Amino acid sequence: MNAVIRTEKLSKSFGENRVLRDVSLSIPEKSVYAIIGQSGTGKSVLIKTIIGMTAPDSGRVWFKDTELTYLHRDDLAPIRRSFGYSFQNAALFDSMTVGENLAFPLIEALHIKNSREIKKRVAELLEWIELPGIESKRPEELSGGMRKRVGVARALMMQPEVLFFDEPTTGLDPVLSETINNLVVRVNKELGVTCVMITHDIPAAFRIAGRIAFLDQGFIIAEGAPADLVLSDKQMVKDFIRISFSELQT
């Protein structure tokens, strides 16, 4: 397996609160990788530590062959452009139109100045997320689901190699959740982007992820393909799976 991201014994505490404890994982290139677990168990902190938003207390992170952990900011910046994020409350800029929101990373990070080129790329991506022609709308005019998709589109403008989703479907109705989950699959399959997704939607994780990591109080207590997780002997994992899937039948 070619790992696009690898962590080795990542640990992070906030004061007395030990949030990550020796987290070692490998995320295969061009896969969908899900991170699941109870609320407050360190999932978001894990992603933030991987992308360099939060410094670990110890442990290491690699992107392909490059160790990121203690890279200088200047050296980390170009590598971080390979990462895109769609965060829990990844707000679009409310003062800008959808078109301006999408153009923003092109202008600010990629320094593209040709306005025809920018317009073309924005229009193409809006079409790709099946929201063509909404350039002049403002975020407040969009539904929650549309806003999420525009957020994903904005992350895709940078043509990232890895896209991180922190609970992309939380707060959405089941139909919209399905749309977003399908969008994750399309980003992965059609664009070849590795998708790392924190989710509370366990059935969706089992359906679309190649591998799943189960985090509990900062430890990875189970990791593997969905079929492996089902066989886990950890009570917490069993309960989580049983409850998530039995909810489906009610």
CB of 166 to Mg ion, least distance (A): 6
With CB under 5 to 8 Å by kind, the binding choice for 93 among Mg ion, ligand ATP, none is none
With CB under 5 to 8 Å by kind, the binding choice for 41 among ligand ATP, Mg ion, none is ligand ATP
Distances in whole angstroms, Cα of residue 135 to Cα of each of 35, 117, 179: 33, 15, 20
Contacts 24+ apart (CB under 8 A), 223-229: 223/25
Q: Which of 42, 52, 139, 160 binds ligand ATP (CB under 6 A)?
A: 42
CB of 95 to Mg ion, least distance (A): 27
Is 41 strand, coil or helix?
Answer: coil
With CB under 5 to 8 Å by kind, the binding choice for 129 among Mg ion, ligand ATP, none is none
Q: Is 56 in the site for ligand ATP (CB under 6 A)?
A: no
Q: Which of 5, 34, 43, 168 binds ligand ATP (CB under 6 A)?
A: 43
* Short-list 54, 20, 143, 147, CA closest to 93: 147
Q: Which of 4, 5, 10, 19 binds ligand ATP (CB under 6 A)?
A: 19
Q: What is the dihedral of CA 21, 22, 23, 28, to 10 degrees?
A: 180
Distances in whole angstroms, Cα of residue 91 to Cα of each of 170, 211, 225: 14, 28, 32
Measured in degrees and rounded to the nearest 5, phi and psi for residue 160 equal -70, 160
Name the CA radius of gyration of the chain, rounded. 18
The mark string for 165-204 relative to ligand ATP (x by CB under 6 A, - otherwise) is ----------------------------------------
Q: Which of 44, 177, 188, 194 binds ligand ATP (CB under 6 A)?
A: 44
Name the packing angle between helices 174-191 and 144-156 (round to 10°): 10
CB of 6 to ligand ATP, least distance (A): 20
DSSP string over 231-248: T---HHHHHHHHHHHHHH
With CB under 5 to 8 Å by kind, the binding choice for 194 among ligand ATP, Mg ion, none is none
CA distance 183 to 180: 5
Q: Which of 7, 26, 41, 169 binds ligand ATP (CB under 6 A)?
A: 41
CA distance 20 to 189: 31
Q: Residue 153 or residue 196: which is nearer to ligand ATP going by CB?
A: 196
Q: Is 52 in the site for ligand ATP (CB under 6 A)?
A: no
Q: Residue 31 or residue 44: which is nearer to Mg ion going by CB?
A: 44
With CB under 5 to 8 Å by kind, the binding choice for 155 among ligand ATP, Mg ion, none is none
Residues at the site binding ligand ATP, with contacts judged by CB under 6 A: 14, 17, 19, 39-45
